[in-house]
Amino acid sequence: MSLVSAKGMLEKARKEGYGVGQFNINNLEWTKAVLTVAEEKQSPVILGVSEGAGKYMVGFNTVVAMVNAMMKTLNITVPVALHLDHGSFEAAKVCIEEGFSSVMFDGSHYPFDENVEKTKEIVNIAKAKGVSVEAEVGSIGGEEDGVTGAGEVADPDECRKIASLGISMLAAGIGNIHGTYPENWQGLDMKVLKEIGETTNEIPLVLHGGTGIPDAMVKEAISYGVSKINVNTECQLEFAKATRSYIEAKKDKEGKGFDPRKLLKPGTEAIMDVVREKMDLFGSSHKA
């Protein structure tokens, strides 16, 4: 199957009351892990690519080529969207041109009117190519690709306005944070999320900062209209832990060098376990 826009899979998820995972990819191993588990679980999936990860993987064009080739060779039959995560205005346009099937234009740091204007322009360009667009209102806290945001709860009125611009899904800040949550975290603002969910015309909502949110809170958020949940840090942490254990166990043989394929295998398998667990939690398994 070729790449699809995220619109259809998220509208189905919203209607049927489950969430589709966006798992960020950074290299070949990450990509292989996520695609393999999506097929195994018969789950739709979204591959997230930050601008930094895109650069690391030698450009968005390389990412598109790698993902398309891998899907063909692995014979992936489930719906897969390739999505720009937290894109700038320029990067969103490049990704639409290069063959991404979905983009996030994150205009949350602009004055609201400018966010509206720029989002509209991206929607117009994307529509012509059948590419889905995610917009953001109210910033997500924490660090993402070296940029740290304080986090800000979205204004439901602004959400309504952005949701009416023809976007496919809406990310609203509701106290969620990228990275791990601090001990004194107050939890998601369910009151605001519920209001946004009730007044944005059934548009699929996006929950960023999926690492470390208690399972019950994730399920409650899904019940209010969250249909896409982004997970990145948890894969990184599990990858690092498994890789460290492998190196520790093989330390005495270090002088002989490490076969990179063997070195990366435990970490890749650890990512697969995270993806399996999340697909079951979000309820997307067997929904392809």
Q: Taking CB under 6 A as the rule, does residue 211 contact ligand 13P? A: yes
The number of residues that bind ligand 13P (CB under 6 A) is 15
What backbone phi and psi angles, to 5 degrees, belong to 131? -95, 135
For the chain, counts of helices (H) and of strands (E): 11, 11
- Check if 85 is active-site: yes
Which candidate, 157, 154, 148, places its Cα nearest to that of 174?
Answer: 154
Shortest spacing between CB 250 and ligand 13P, in angstroms:
29
Q: Which of 7, 208, 228, 287 binds ligand 13P (CB under 6 A)?
A: 208
Does the protein bind ligand 13P through residue 178 (CB under 6 A)?
A: yes
Contact between 228 and ligand 13P per CB under 6 A: no
Contacts of 178 (CB under 8 A, 6+ apart): 140, 141, 142, 143, 144, 149, 208, 209, 232, 233
Least gap, CB of 144 to ligand 13P (angstroms): 6
Site for ligand 13P contains 179 (CB under 6 A): yes
In DSSP notation, 97-126 reads: HHT-SEEEE--TTS-HHHHHHHHHHHHHHH
Stretch that binds ligand 13P, among 89-97, 118-126, 185-193, 224-232 (CB under 6 A): 224-232
By C-alpha distance, which of 104, 128, 90 is closest to 22?
Answer: 104
- Binding string to ligand 13P for residues 75 to 114, with x set by CB under 6 A, is what? ----------xx----------------------------
C-beta of residue 102 within 8 angstroms of C-beta of residue 5: yes
Q: Does 230 bind ligand 13P (CB under 6 A)?
A: yes
Which residues contribute to the site for ligand 13P (CB under 6 A)? 24, 48, 85-86, 178-179, 208-211, 230-234
Q: Catalytic residue positions?
A: 85
